[in-house]
Amino acid sequence: MKIKLCKKCGVPLRVSRSQVWHENGVITEKRSPDMRMIFYESEHLDYLFHLLEEIIGVPLEHIVVESKRRDVKEYTEGMIPGPLRRVVRYIGFKPIAGMLSRLGIAYGFGDIKLVESRRRFAEDDYLVMTVRNPHSLLFFLGENLGAWEAIDGRESVIDYQEIGENTYRCTVRIGRHPMELQERLERRRYPFKPGDIHYERCSHCGVPLEIAEYRWNLEDGVIIDPRRNMRMALFSPTGFEAILDDLEAELGEAIPEAVIEAQRRNVKEHMQESIYKGKEYLDFKRMLALNGLGYLSRFELSEEGLDVTIQNSCIQLLMVGMVQGIYELARGVEKSSCEWELVPDGDLNISVRT
């Protein structure tokens, strides 16, 4: 599966030609400026949901998959015009599956392959994909199901089996969803504020040179940030936010604090303690911007605690848990208290105290 790379910096052209890194801590798609993207640490996404299940005592897999299905179906329907989708229904899913697989590999979703598919316009039609090293198995299941439904036009279900080390065979079949979430919650949209982040950019494709330092292993579908030795993936935060909103709508008002707590634990278990100590705090602003997580406009560290403001924020519950976890790692404390506020213009204010 050939994926073209920039001849100058080596970044997949599917990334550099499709995304824009702005000076205000936001990444957007070139062809759709309203579509925001993030470069997010993906290695422990499924573990985050596992922690959340432990905290609230309720299985979450079906909600996560269903929410992601709905999000990707909407995205695919917007990306591929209706007439083209109707053509694909007759010529077969293979061309679209190949395109989506190449996109997924370039974005760090894992090693994705189409195994087989059958479309006879009958109830026994199916699609089989494999994924090795998925960025998130739950996300992958929902993404496959949503893309298939957008093209096929029929309600379907998905199941999977582990066939090797971190390798899964996923099968989509015609069938009714095991659950139906309420109608799509309205996506959050804020006007972006300006910023002053400066990037040295590749002279050929325009990607920030710090992103060019990431290691793209296209054989495994894995992206590594060498500065933090973290696996990364490029995806839209709106789908992630929709999952968290759906969890709250289904399970109640306790979900936001549970998500923050799960992320706090996740950060403390998997981040190196030394990364955010001392002068490394100065890198926090740039790290947020490079990952498309917003613009750090305030960072006040004192004996009493830490106060942070992130403009142009997204996935706010996870950001609160991340800041709290990082603070506890840096201060060497077991637990802290945290207050936060999301103001109407999208600023996220976080206050952590020992």
The verdict on 66 and 169 lying in the same domain is yes
Over range 63-73, report the average pLDDT: 91
pLDDT for position 157: 95
- Percent of the chain scoring above 90 in pLDDT: 63
pLDDT for position 299: 92
H helices of 28-180, in order, are 45-56, 61-79, 82-91, 94-106, 137-152
Structure-block tokens of residue 78: 């917007």
Of 129, 146, 174, the last residue of a domain is 174
Structure-block tokens of residue 159: 């199941």
Over range 121-138, report the average pLDDT: 92
- Rounded distance between C-alpha atoms, residue 5 and residue 11, angstroms: 5
> Of 34-38, 86-90, 317-321, where does mean pLDDT reach its minimum?
86-90
Q: Is residue 300 part of a domain?
A: yes
Over range 345-354, report the average pLDDT: 94
**Residue length, the chain?**
354
Phi, psi (rounded to 5 degrees) for 4: -75, 140
Indicate if the pLDDT at residue 33 is higher than 90: no
Q: Is residue 169 part of a domain?
A: yes
For the stretch 255-300, pLDDT in tens is: 999 999 999 999 998 875 444 444 455 588 999 999 999 999 999 9
Q: Is residue 207 part of a domain?
A: no
Over range 143-166, report the average pLDDT: 93
Q: Is residue 183 part of a domain?
A: no
The verdict on 170 and 258 lying in the same domain is no
- Domain assignment of residue 114, given as a range: 62-174
Q: Is residue 272 part of a domain?
A: yes
Q: Is residue 271 part of a domain?
A: yes
Count of CA atoms in the C-beta half-sphere (13 A) of 325: 22
Phi-psi map region of 236: left, alpha, beta (phi>0 left; psi -120 to 50 alpha): beta
Over range 163-186, report the average pLDDT: 83
CA distances from 279 to 198, 284, 314, 315, 330 (A): 20, 10, 25, 26, 11
Indicate if the pLDDT at residue 139 is higher than 50: yes
Higher-pLDDT residue of 344, 86 = 344
- The CATH number for 98's domain is 3.30.1380.20
Indicate if the pLDDT at residue 111 is higher than 90: yes
Residue with token string 């279900």: 157
- Percent of the chain scoring above 70 in pLDDT: 94
Q: Is residue 14 part of a domain?
A: no
- Rounded distance between C-alpha atoms, residue 295 and residue 311, angstroms: 5
Indicate if the pLDDT at residue 70 is higher than 60: yes
Which residues touch 50 (CB under 8 Å, ≥6 apart)?
A: none
Mean pLDDT of the chain: 89
pLDDT for position 277: 46
Of 122, 141, 174, the last residue of a domain is 174
> Of 182-186, 192-196, 210-214, where does mean pLDDT reach its minimum?
182-186
Q: Is residue 91 part of a domain?
A: yes
Which residues touch 232 (CB under 8 Å, ≥6 apart)?
A: 39, 40, 41, 42, 108, 214, 223, 224, 225, 291
CB 145 within 8 A of CB 65: yes
Over range 47-51, report the average pLDDT: 94
Of 126, 158, 174, the last residue of a domain is 174
Indicate if the pLDDT at residue 180 is higher than 70: no
Which residues touch 84 (CB under 8 Å, ≥6 apart)?
A: none
Domain count, the chain: 2
